[in-house]
A = this chain, B = another copy of it.
Amino acid sequence: MDHVLENLKEVVATKPTDIIIQQVKDLLMSGQLKPGDKLPPERKLSEKFGVGRTHVREAIRKLEFYGILKTRPQSGTYVASIGISALESLIADVLKIDGYSFLSLVETREVLELSSVFHACERHNEEDIRLLENSLNDYIVKAEKHVTAVEEDLMFHLTIADLGKNKVLKSMLLIIIPDIIASYNVFNVCQSSTNKALEEHRILYDQIKKRDAEAAVQTMKEHLKGVMTFARSIIQ
């Protein structure tokens, strides 16, 4: 196995919360903790790990978000009933999550947006179209002033996600969009071709309205092409 890598990660885990998560993982690996088990009380854990309850609670929250633990008030915290090896791997990955590459972000965004616009074509209603139109107009007004309209751009795309009626897809977009914006600023990915983008938004609106899913997906692909090729060109 990759013991070397494991030790390396252990050194990296310098934040108290991550240390606790590592310890919980150790409890699982040593067999002291099994899927479905009740976790020791927060007090015991904080005592055993020599740290305040705050950090224990934060670690539990983080693992709860990834579905690894489940807390029942005034009762206890329980390990998910998934296989032990899967659990260990899941926790290992939670610890590694940090510093996404720009390419990873943009690739994921493309996948989510393509699916999003596809479902939008199939599932929107009349009210939705009005919302999308408003969103488009907001963007047009701002863009025609030659002001960078990143937020209106973003809003238009999120509105499309709304039309897709898939909350998970939208949540995922919500999670990565701030990171993408941050990367945009770092790499200075300016809206060089605002006119083109504006036109593409208009086309997207029409195609979604006509429920032409295939065409809309293609337009979206083209719309994101610039950023994609730029992301691929960066050495990371």
Taking Cβ atoms with an 8 Å cutoff, the residues of A that contact B are 58, 61, 65-68, 80, 82-87, 89-90, 93-94, 96-97, 100-101, 103-105, 107-108, 111-112, 114-115, 119, 138, 150-152, 154-155, 158, 166-172, 174-179, 181-182
Residue of B nearest to A100 (CB): B168
A151 close to B111 (CB less than 8 A): no
Bound-state Cα–Cα, A164 to B74, Å: 42
In angstroms, Cα B158 to Cα A111, docked, is 18
* B174 and A108 form a contact (CB under 8 A): no
Contact of A93 among B138, B150, B174, B182 (CB under 8 A): B174
With A151-B83, A155-B86, A172-B172 in contact, do A66 and B178 touch (Cβ < 8 Å)?
A: yes
Chain B residues with CB under 8 Å of A158's CB are: 86, 89, 93
A168 to B104, CA, bound (A): 6
Given contacts A80-B178, A82-B178, A85-B155, contact A171 B97 (CB under 8 A): yes
Residue contact A154 to B86, C-beta cutoff 8 Å: yes
Partner of A83, one of B84, B114, B152: B152
A104 to B165 alpha-carbon distance, docked (Å)? 8
Given A66-B174, A171-B93, answer yes or no on A82-B151 (Cβ-Cβ < 8 Å). yes
CA distance A138 to B172 in the complex (A): 31
22 contacts between A and B (CB under 8 A): A61-B61, A66-B178, A67-B175, A67-B178, A67-B181, A82-B181, A83-B150, A83-B151, A83-B152, A86-B154, A89-B155, A89-B158, A90-B174, A90-B178, A93-B170, A100-B168, A100-B171, A104-B168, A104-B169, A107-B119, A111-B111, A111-B114
Q: Which residues of B contact A152 (CB under 8 A)?
A: 83, 85-86
Q: Report the minimum CB–CB distance from A164 to chain B (whole Å).
A: 9
- Closest residue of B by beta carbon distance from A86: B151
Bound Cα distance A158, B94 (Å) = 13
Given contact pairs A85-B151, A90-B174, A107-B119, a sample of 5 additional A-B residue pairs in the complex whose CB atoms are under 8 Å apart: A83-B152, A86-B152, A96-B167, A100-B167, A108-B115
When distances are taken between beta carbons in the complex, the residues of chain B under 8 Å from A168 are 100, 104-105, 107-108, 176
Cβ of B100 and Cβ of A178 under 8 Å apart? no
Instruction: Enumerate chain B residues within 8 angstroms of A151, measured Cβ to Cβ.
Output: 82-87
Nearest CB of chain B from residue A70's CB, rounded to whole Å: 9
